[in-house]
Structure 1
């Protein structure tokens, strides 16, 4: 993200801003809080119409505001009102005006060339101290960060943006978060039949069906990934619409080996927490340098405490006293570093020492509770298997007792699986989200960034008009700017 200035002669400023709006890749700083203090003729007329404005748009040339008011063109009046707000925010020196803002690095050259034809210039600036740039997200309506912005990546974006906007300096966890989520979902929703149904739902979303949920179409790779991992887990469990015997057990049968499944779930959680600590160290270093990374409970200090406690737990499990001593030393170093960092944030004195002690105790307890929390992967996997077994037992108990009983068996099988599918999909989805937010994201992020909000309006081109972006369009046609997506 680059800090930029839009510089243009006063007479060329409007056309330059129109081209900026059409490109849709520059966030322009507004005077004050960007509120209604800067009101021009277009904003006044829009208020007088007392009508809900349509989606704002701009005309290529300065419009006749009286004519727009008579025609009820609230869309163009709203667009002109936004333009007036930015014109009023410009800093003027003689015949030259300038506005500051942010633009993605990859878009600076193209945007500069675009407004050069109008007589303006896009000048890169040094970022001001103490001001974090806005974060470019991977969504549907912002500037793409580059080739990595795939369809799969965009479908995972809501996992991160629902939690908050990633600070500009932090790592982008979108892909990793999506992969971890679908793996955890699959372990809890392990049934090959149900997983294939979820894949079918994803294909329907991709086709835009049903139309009432067409807005969810970009999420189809996310749903397909969850269905695929559930299918693979079901194959490993030998579950196909319950323990029907259609598939052999390739790994373990959840209801027969619950402790083994529990151990795997907790072990997976321990690995994921270690990865979260590693990412937290990188984020703290990028946010505040080596000292911030060293003393933070989500940085090196917290990671050392976690590693030490993990070694101690392994010593208890394996019965090796030497490893217990090593783990205790590492944990003590982590506690000491974390204590220094926490005490520095207090007012000092006895009160600060007490507060630090409580926070250190909480940090130790949280590590244990967070690891154990991943046991829910096994618990809800067992619940899914148990529901499938109940439905299958009811189906087989009714089968073979006459035509009426066969019909009843079919109904039990269909309705029971439908209920299990809906209930377990909801539960597994919520629990995977909870694990990601509370156990993992809480170690990655300590603050929240600000999303990049580029100014983007469609522009109406008159007959024979042309812009730096391409040939003229038909009279009165609205030409949209390039499709955009956002990075987290």
Structure 2
């Protein structure tokens, strides 16, 4: 796959399909069989009906010629042009209309689950970088930190493999998510090893990093640090997208572009300088924050129409940029909070299990508490961690990566049943706009 297609949507081009009027339906059949053109059929008769005939009626006539316009992947141009040339037609590249964005087509391997998060959020704008792989890594990292337990992670991996097998009919509808679920389970197992958790503090695995119950503050600081790194990545991606969308002039003043990135960096330097008592860092951070806020103010003012109301709006949004950024960073503390909650629930279950263990019915009660408690905790915590990781992904990260939504590419692929005919078959009557 070319580098441009790996980084974002497939390069598209606006084209005109031009053929002799007598060959219009044969040309449309060739286009339909190719299935690589999104025809602009805004001139087609309203209502449902024969798609081939509707498209034929939407053709624009000029003397003996008839044509259509649409979008198609640039890489498919040569093959379709050759097919139309056999009918005496042509495929002509056109300029992109001012103010119109090409549709988005993203190629990916069958069964690739890395697009699950982005596709659920919306369609990537044509000019933007596709963050699907990075978004998947960020999600499983956050989920694993909140759901860290070797035993529960292994259970989630088993669920993922069960979904892939398709043995349970209701799960077949979500079969494409098996890789996503399995990776989340593996991430939970990794963090479980770091926490020393396997169905709780059972001692089945050693603590490789820290015990959440014993060291909540280091876990909290680690969560905020991970959040800062993820936010930095989203700002970098957002800046690249703003440049691709509107150039450096647009990106410079955008709250999700250079100005927003500068404010984020400034707050980081200020925090570092204040905590470490390094005066030069505080000074640099303060100056950078001032420059970033001025850029944000000017950017908002330029789009608000100016005047007293515009100045007020720019001031409010500039202040909001600071307060929101601080709250966004702190929001990642929930990675530690829910990880600690998970560990605490399992600790309670394990304590109850060990307290009940004994001869006779004590052992039965202990096993029952352990099994039922872990099943309930697994279901509850998996749901909570999944939702919270999704919330952080969409609200904290994607809100900086995207400022709009694209339009999916929908190639024209009508059902040709009953329309296929040999090339030497009699040509049907014309269906142009100027003919009854």
TM-score, with structure 2 as normaliser = 0.89
1:86 corresponds to? 55
Counterpart position of 2:307: 349
- The correspondence for 1:2, drawn from 13, 16, 27, is 13
Offset at residue 405 of structure 1 (A): 1.9
Q: CA deviation at 1:403?
A: 2.5
Query: Secondary structure at the residue paired with 1:345?
Result: helix
Report the CA distance between 1:18 and its aligned residue.
2.5
C-alpha spacing 1:20/1:414, structure 2 compared with 1 (3 Å): farther
CA displacement, residues 367-405 of structure 1 (integer Å, 9 cap, x when unaligned): 1000000001101111111111111111111111x2222
State the 1:4 CA deviation.
1.6
User: Can you list the C-alpha shifts for 1:334-364, whole angstroms capped at 9, x where unaligned?
Assistant: 1111111111112322222221111111000
Q: Does 1:150 align with 2:104?
A: no
- The corresponding residue for 2:40 is 29
Structure 1 segments unaligned to the other structure (5+ residues)? 44-77, 138-144, 468-488
* SS of residue paired to 1:410: helix
Q: Does 1:406 align with 2:363?
A: yes
The answer to whether residue 210 in structure 2 is matched with residue 276 in structure 1 is no
Give the conservation status (yes or no) of the 8 Å contact 1:151–1:221: no
RMSD of aligned residue pairs (Cα, Å): 2.0
Q: CA deviation at 1:117?
A: 4.6
Structure 1 CA distance for aligned equivalents of residues 422 and 147 of structure 2:
55
Structure 2 counterpart of 1:95, from 34, 44, 64? 64
Partner of 2:268: 310
Q: 1:413 deviation in Å?
A: 1.3
Equivalent position SS for 1:131: coil
Please say if residues 111 and 122 of structure 1, whose CA atoms lie closer than 8 Å, have aligned partners that are also in contact: yes
Q: 1:254 aligns with which of 212, 217, 235?
A: 212
Distance in 1 (CA, whole Å) between partners of 2:305 and 2:312 is 11
Equivalent residue for 2:103, pick from 123, 131, 134:
134
Q: Is the 8 A contact 2:13 2:74 kept in 1?
A: yes
Alignment of 1:26-175 (within 5 A): 26-32=37-43, 37-38=45-46, 43=48, 81-137=50-106, 145=107, 149-151=108-110, 154-175=112-133
Using the TM superposition, give the Cα deviation of residue 151 of structure 1 relative to its aligned residue in structure 2, in angstroms.
4.7
Q: How many angstroms apart in 2 are the aligned matches of 1:391 and 1:8?
A: 75
Whether the 8 Å CA contact 1:13–1:120 is kept in 2: the answer is no
Instruction: Kindly provide the CA deviation profile for residues 30-71 of structure 1, in whole angstroms up to 9, marking residues without a partner as x.
Output: 125x6xx445xxx5xxxxxxxxxxxxxxxxxxxxxxxxxxxx
Residue 324 in structure 1 maps to residue 293 in structure 2: no
SS of the aligned residue for 2:411 comes to: coil
Moved over 6 A (4+): none
Match of 1:235, SS state, is helix
> Aligned with 2:241: secondary structure?
helix
Give CA deviations for 1:170-217 in whole Å, capped at 9, x if unaligned. 111111111111111111111111111111111122222312221211
Shift in Å at residue 114 of structure 1?
4.1
Residue number in structure 2 paired with 1:482 = none
1:163-312 mapped onto 2 (5 Å cutoff):
163-312=121-270
**Corresponding residue for residue 438 of structure 1:** 395
2:404 match: 447
Distance across 2 between alignment mates of 1:247 and 1:86: 66
User: How big is the shift at 1:273?
Assistant: 1.0
Q: Any stretches of 5+ residues in structure 2 without a counterpart?
A: 1-11, 424-436
Superposed displacement of residue 164, structure 1: 1.9
